[in-house]
């Protein structure tokens, strides 16, 4: 990386202002250290704060950080499976209802009416 220019040296004067080192008067030039702190934090530290506040160790913090999102993903997958199964049951029920109504003749129509009455009666009892 020899092709890059030399970085500009910034120093802090006794009055608190910052200037480039090559623009300073000769009497003030000297080795000064400029400390720069860069802080980076995780976006959400709720689990860590709870774990450390209750006096448990770093292993529990790491487990919470790892297994928390994993648990959410698993619960979401389970909910998606239940939604799909409910949709599938609805479609199959509609298909059976249609087949019984169309093929069954008068007996099928009577069966559909009886099932409808039973469903209405069950809803009223709730």
For residue 20, give the H/E element and its range: strand 18-20
Q: Provide the pLDDT for residue 92.
A: 96
What pTM does this model have? 0.39
State how far the Cα of 92 lies from the Cα of 98, in Å rounded to an integer: 10
Task: Quickly list DSSP for 74-89.
Answer: HHHHHHHHHHHHHHHH
Phi, psi of 31 (to 5 degrees): -75, 110
Task: Name the residue ranges covered by the structural domains of the chain.
Answer: 7-36
Q: Provide the pLDDT for residue 32.
A: 63
Token output for 71 = 């648990």
Q: What is the pLDDT along the chain (126 residues), one digit of tens a residue?
A: 567 667 677 778 788 887 777 655 555 556 666 666 666 655 566 656 665 666 666 677 777 778 888 889 999 999 999 999 999 999 999 998 888 778 877 777 788 788 888 888 888 887
Q: Provide the pLDDT for residue 103.
A: 80
Q: Provide the pLDDT for residue 55.
A: 60
Q: Provide the pLDDT for residue 14.
A: 81
For residue 10, give the H/E element and its range: strand 10-12
Q: What is the 8-class DSSP label of residue 23?
A: G
């Amino acid at each position: 990386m020899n092709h890059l220019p030399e970085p500009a040296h910034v120093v802090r004067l006794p009055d608190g202002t910052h200037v480039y080192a090559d623009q300073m008067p000769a009497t003030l030039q000297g080795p000064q250290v400029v400390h720069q702190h860069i802080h980076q934090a995780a976006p959400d530290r709720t689990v860590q704060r709870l774990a450390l506040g209750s006096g448990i160790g770093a292993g529990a913090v790491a487990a919470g950080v790892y297994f928390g999102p994993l648990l959410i993903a698993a619960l979401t997958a389970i909910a998606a499976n239940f939604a799909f199964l409910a949709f599938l049951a609805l479609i199959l029920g509609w298909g059976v209802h249609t087949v019984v109504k169309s093929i069954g003749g008068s007996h099928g129509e009577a069966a559909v009416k009886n099932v409808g009455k039973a469903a209405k009666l069950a809803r009223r009892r709730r």
